[in-house]
Amino acid sequence: MKTASDPRHRHRAQIIQHLFSASFQKHSDPLISQIWANLPQIDPQIAAAAPEWPLDKLNPIDLAILRLAVYELLIDNKAPYKVIIDEAVELAKEFGSTGSPAFINGALGNIVKKHEP
């Protein structure tokens, strides 16, 4: 398990904060430009994985965590899916509400099942 002092975890936390902020400002900054540019591919995956929660009704921090994780899972492809999901759940524990970790885990599990070869 990664610790909060792990540089990759800190970097992901910073990205989550920028995604959270950008969702209110409706524009991105250079740190998240790749993720923001791929939102037309990312957001439908999230909507399909959690159909009972429309994107505009999701907790904004949960949405930011899901956007990063879906980007890493489907577009970036640099880490194993188990690592991405574990990291997303840890971020949800750190930044989200009490139900966030389970919600994030379930939504990402649905996405992985859909995209497994």
Domain boundaries, the chain: 34-115
Neighbours of 28 (CB within 10 A): 18
Displacement of CA 30 from its chain's centroid (Å) = 18
pLDDT at 63: 97
State in words which class domain 34-115 has.
mainly alpha
Neighbours of 71 (CB within 10 A): 24
Pairwise CA distance, residues 60 & 5, whole Å? 24
What count of Cα atoms within 13 Å lies in the side-chain half-sphere of residue 82?
Answer: 1
pLDDT at 3: 63
Q: What is the pLDDT of residues 25-83, one digit of tens each?
A: 888 889 999 999 999 999 999 999 999 999 999 999 999 999 999 999 999 989 999 99
Q: What is the pLDDT of residues 3-17, one digit of tens each?
A: 667 899 999 999 999
Mean pLDDT of 100-111: 96
Do you know the residue count of the chain?
117
State both tokens at 96.
């989200």
